[in-house]
């Protein structure tokens, strides 16, 4: 990247302001990234060497489970520890009007005057998986800006919309009794993406049962080395167990992580310290060999996804005439779509340099 390009020069200048923790520059960068401005790519490349210091926590769960309220309480908890906190709050885009309310920040408005808290709302803009297309990169802007904790709150997701697990270091799944969440959380996608569960609205009937159901399903999937830890705790307060009891071992080596199940009432702040403790335990585990391997796998997944997107864009651009010809051939039944795809891939591979 050279400063001869006006876009790159603007990106370099903005990057320096971000590294100096200029709030206006951080807001401008988030807008560039979300709007996919031409300067966003050079900016992110310039910031990349300065990232890696933030702990990114994903907060996901069904609509109405209390994610925003719990995020508000997490901000307060981390601020009591003098952590700088940024929040990426993702709201759904209407398939009819294309608009988004971006109202999650309303529940966090009491932190608006805190210079060490930055809250940015994003619309999904039709992107599936509970995140917006730009959420990961906006979080990296906050990372470079020196925020210790970055919370990414997803839209209410279904059982297979778990993209947050590849964007966050630790994933907190929020469920609530009486909403079917106990059953939904047992579905494979949600169960496997969680590093900790928060059973919110624990003053409602059925909260204990929801926590027990989650513990039961987790125990069925747990390695044999952790079965005893599950049997020793029947109260649904998994954060109370020590880190040693949350790490699965096989053959003397760490093999995996056992999610905690913590009950809380986010509207009153009850039990939030337990949620923070559960997340802290997972953060500690990320420093182990197994945890570092998971972080590397997460980066590999991101590279593959970025490569897939770049290759598809390049193929669609380079093969536009051939694609139209293939569609004609398929429409007249002179060629099947499978052979047409194979031929297009072969032509793309054979293209010069």
- Reading the chain (353 residues) residue by residue, the pLDDT tens digits are 445 666 689 999 999 999 999 999 999 999 999 988 999 999 999 999 999 999 999 998 888 889 989 999 999 999 999 999 999 988 765 444 444 445 555 667 788 889 999 999 887 654 444 456 788 999 999 999 999 999 999 876 554 456 788 889 999 999 888 765 445 545 556 677 889 999 999 999 989 988 888 888 887 766 654 555 555 554 444 444 545 555 555 444 555 788 999 999 999 999 999 999 999 999 999 999 989 999 999 899 889 988 998 999 999 999 999 999 999 999 999 999 999 999 999 999 998 86
**DSSP letter string over 168-208?**
-SEEEEEE-TTTTHHHHHHSHHHHHH-SEEEE--TTSTTHH
Tell me if 313 is assigned to some domain.
Answer: no
Tell me if 26 is assigned to some domain.
Answer: no
Q: Please tell me the predicted confidence (pLDDT) of residue 178.
A: 72
What's the CA dihedral at 179, 164, 27, 127 to 10 degrees?
A: -80
Q: Which domain holds residue 135?
A: 51-287
- Distance (Å, whole) CA 57 – CA 61: 13
Number of H helices, E strands in the chain: 14, 9
Q: How many domains does the chain have?
A: 1
- Distance (Å, whole) CA 293 – CA 278: 20
| CB within 8 Å of 26: residues ≥ 6 apart | 18, 118, 141, 142, 145
| CB within 8 Å of 316: residues ≥ 6 apart | 323
Tell me if 41 is assigned to some domain.
Answer: no
Q: Please tell me the predicted confidence (pLDDT) of residue 192.
A: 73
Q: Which residues pair with 248 in a beta bridge?
A: 256
Tell me if 234 is assigned to some domain.
Answer: yes
Q: Please tell me the predicted confidence (pLDDT) of residue 99.
A: 41
Tell me if 195 is assigned to some domain.
Answer: yes
What's the CA dihedral at 105, 107, 110, 114 to 10 degrees?
A: -30
Which tokens is 132 given? 């917006």
Tell me if 17 is assigned to some domain.
Answer: no
Tell me if 301 is assigned to some domain.
Answer: no
Tell me if 310 is assigned to some domain.
Answer: no
We report the CATH number of the domain holding residue 94 as 3.40.50.300
């Amino acid at each position: 990247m050279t400063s001869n390009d006006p876009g790159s020069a603007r990106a370099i200048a903005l990057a320096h302001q971000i590294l100096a923790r200029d709030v206006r520059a951080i807001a401008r960068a988030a807008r560039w990234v979300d709007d996919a401005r031409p300067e966003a790519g050079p900016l992110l490349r310039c910031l990349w060497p300065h990232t890696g210091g933030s702990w990114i926590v994903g907060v996901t769960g069904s609509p109405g489970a209390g994610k925003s309220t719990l995020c508000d309480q997490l901000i307060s908890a981390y601020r009591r520890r003098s952590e700088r906190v940024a929040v990426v709050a993702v709201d759904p885009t209407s398939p009819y009007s294309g608009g988004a309310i971006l109202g999650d920040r309303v529940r966090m408005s009491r932190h608006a005057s805190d210079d060490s808290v930055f809250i940015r709302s994003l619309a999904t803009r039709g992107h599936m998986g509970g995140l917006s297309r730009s959420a990961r990169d906006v979080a990296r802007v906050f990372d470079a800006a020196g925020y210790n904790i970055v919370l990414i709150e997803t839209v209410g997701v279904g059982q297979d919309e778990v993209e947050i697990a590849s964007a966050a270091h630790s994933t907190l799944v929020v469920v609530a009794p009486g909403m079917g969440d106990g059953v939904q959380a047992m579905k494979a996608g949600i169960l496997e993406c969680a590093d900790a569960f928060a059973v919110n609205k624990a003053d409602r009937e059925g909260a204990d049962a929801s926590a027990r159901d989650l513990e039961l399903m987790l125990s069925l999937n747990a390695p044999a080395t952790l079965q005893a830890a599950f049997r020793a705790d029947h109260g649904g307060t998994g954060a109370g167990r020590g880190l040693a009891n949350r790490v699965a071992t096989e053959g003397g080596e760490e093999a995996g992580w056992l999610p905690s199940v913590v009950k809380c009432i986010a509207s009153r702040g009850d039990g939030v310290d337990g949620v923070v403790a559960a997340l802290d335990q997972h953060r500690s585990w990320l420093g182990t060999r197994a945890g570092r391997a998971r972080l590397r796998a997460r980066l590999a997944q991101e590279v593959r996804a970025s490569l897939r997107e770049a290759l598809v864009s390049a193929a669609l651009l380079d093969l536009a005439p051939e694609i139209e010809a293939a569609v004609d051939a398929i429409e007249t039944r002179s060629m099947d779509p499978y052979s047409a795809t194979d031929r297009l891939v072969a032509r793309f591979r054979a293209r010069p340099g």
